[in-house]
A and B are shown apart, each in its own frame.
Chain A
Amino acid sequence: MTFRRIVQDVSVTGLGMLTPAGDGWRTGWERVRDGQPTAVLGPLTPVPHLACVVDFDSARLGPARSRKPDRCTQLALLAAREALSDAGLEPARWNGARVAVVMGSSYGGIEMLESEHRALLEKGSKAVSPYAVPTSLSNSVSAQLSIEFAAMGPSLTVNTACASGATAIGTALDLLALGRCDIVLAGGAEAAITPFNIVGLERIGALSHHFEDPARAVRPFDVGRDGLVIGEGAGVLVLERTADARARGAKVRGRIKGFGASSDAYHVVKPGLNGAGLTSAVREALARAGVLPEDVSYINAHGTGTQVGDRVEAAVLAELFPHRPPVSSTKAVTGHLMGAAGAVEAVLTVLAVEQGLVPPTANLENLDPAVALDIPTKCREERLQVALSVSAGFGGQNAVLAIAPA
């Protein structure tokens, strides 16, 4: 299969990140760089579980309103505000018609959906908020960003499960390449540490049971890995065509060089065991970026810490990149942020190439002998040219970003 090279020179001019690793991209990056995990024992109902929780001051959202957005959108709003400030952009002064919002989320307002549904069952219809539907629909994440920032261009929420954040950034590249807009707020948000989601993932057998030592529970690529830990958070990038970014004198933090997407077309939960889908997405990202596999000097892996997911991903990366570039899974620190994961990991990858640092994989003590990859356990200084951020979602939906320094 051949992929067409699409010239799309897109710059990252602003970063925003609100994760269990910290409020703001600086603190979050430092914790990831230092390999300090965040998992704690979650509320013990209705099943025991571990969680990576965001600590933030919701008062920063402004005056309390009962029509306040769901927690997922709250996280998105704060990350977007940080990204805009980082980009030196003021919505009061921009041409909003040329500004798009593309956010990824698996669930959107699931916390609102569950609490209002509980109110309906326990107290009846009069107990349900009139905002129950509009704030729980997943489109609300991007809609509320568009409203908040007067962004009147295309406004999309995309969903490829745990690849959503990366798919949103890839979709933003296309909007910019097609000239549909000049600026995109692109990223992902998720706040799904909820009874339904936790129980559902537990029923699949996806969650780690290392309750004895929560911080060491997520162990990507380790022989002792036993599943993922759910986290919540948001990551937002301000994207502009490089010529536009330079024309307004913006500081370019990094460049998104290519994007690849594919489907395993195999199973609703399991990854395609021969790795063909993921391989195809990686190849497309490289082709669209106009680079060769040997140009890749760092890979931020999906690396959820499940037995089969890590094994398939490691086999694909070992096959495609025999020169063994360093690989890390930052999920050992942040937990699995689901629909936000791809966006947060894109932010982390931009920071890695900007600073010339390969973040470590925390909790890796005994590398699975089946994993033929170079996975640093300490932060490593390295001049990075092209880096990949790899994401994969339930249903076999894959998304891969190729990221380069400014």
Chain B
Amino acid sequence: MSFDELKNIMISIGISEPDIQLDATREDVGLDSIAVVELALVLRREKGLEVTEEEIKAAGTVADVAALVAAR
């Protein structure tokens, strides 16, 4: 999955577009514990990507999340 696709999904779960920068941390971008659960769910339901909540929580920055989904 491309960064743009990930960005669109993040926007769809209510994350503010300007906040979505590659070097932003998970906290900066508002990927709190609920948003992490939702992101994993949307990736699975809508894109068929199996990324676990634990993997997303372990990611430090948006770039790390992007790398995670790019690899699937």
Residues of chain A touching chain B, judged by Cβ–Cβ distance below 8 Å, are 63-67, 126-131
Contacts and interface: CB of A to CB of B under 8 A. Distances in A.
B14 A127 contact: no
17 contacts: A63-B11, A63-B12, A64-B12, A65-B12, A65-B13, A66-B12, A66-B14, A66-B38, A66-B41, A126-B40, A126-B41, A127-B45, A128-B41, A129-B38, A129-B41, A130-B37, A131-B38
A334 B37 CA distance: 39
Interface string B37-64: 1101110110000000000000000000
B71 interface: no
A215 to B, nearest CB: 38
Contact of B13 (A67, A126, A127): A67
Contacts of B11: 63
Contacts of B45: 127
Contacts of A128: 41
Interface in B11-47: 11-14, 34, 37-38, 40-42, 44-45
A63 B42 CA distance: 16
A98 B40 CA distance: 40
B31 to A, nearest CB: 12
A67 B44 CA distance: 15
Given A67-B38, A131-B34, 7 more contacts: A64-B12, A65-B14, A66-B12, A126-B44, A127-B45, A128-B41, A130-B34
A130 B38 contact: yes
Contacts of A67: 13-14, 38
Contacts of B37: 129-130
Contacts of A130: 34, 37-38, 41
Contacts of A126: 40-41, 44
Nearest to B42: A66
Contacts of A63: 11-12
Contacts of B34: 130-131
Nearest to A128: B41
Given A130-B37, A130-B38, A66 B44 contact: no
Contacts of A129: 37-38, 41
B26 to A, nearest CB: 16
Nearest to B13: A66
A336 B39 CA distance: 38
The 4 closest A-B pairs by CB, nearest first: A130-B37, A130-B34, A66-B13, A65-B14
A205 B38 CA distance: 40
A65 B9 CA distance: 9
Nearest to B52: A126
A128 B44 CA distance: 11
Nearest to A65: B14
Contacts of A64: 12
A300 to B, nearest CB: 40
A65 B45 CA distance: 14
Contacts of B40: 126
A135 to B, nearest CB: 12
A357 to B, nearest CB: 44
A126 B41 CA distance: 7
Contact of A127 (B12, B38, B44): B44
Contacts of B13: 65-67
B69 to A, nearest CB: 16
A140 B37 CA distance: 20
B35 to A, nearest CB: 8
B10 to A, nearest CB: 11
A129 B34 CA distance: 9
Nearest to B36: A130
Nearest to B9: A66
Nearest to A131: B38
Nearest to A119: B45
A65 B13 CA distance: 5
A66 B44 CA distance: 13
A66 B10 CA distance: 10
Contacts of A65: 12-14
Contacts of A131: 34, 38
A179 B9 CA distance: 45
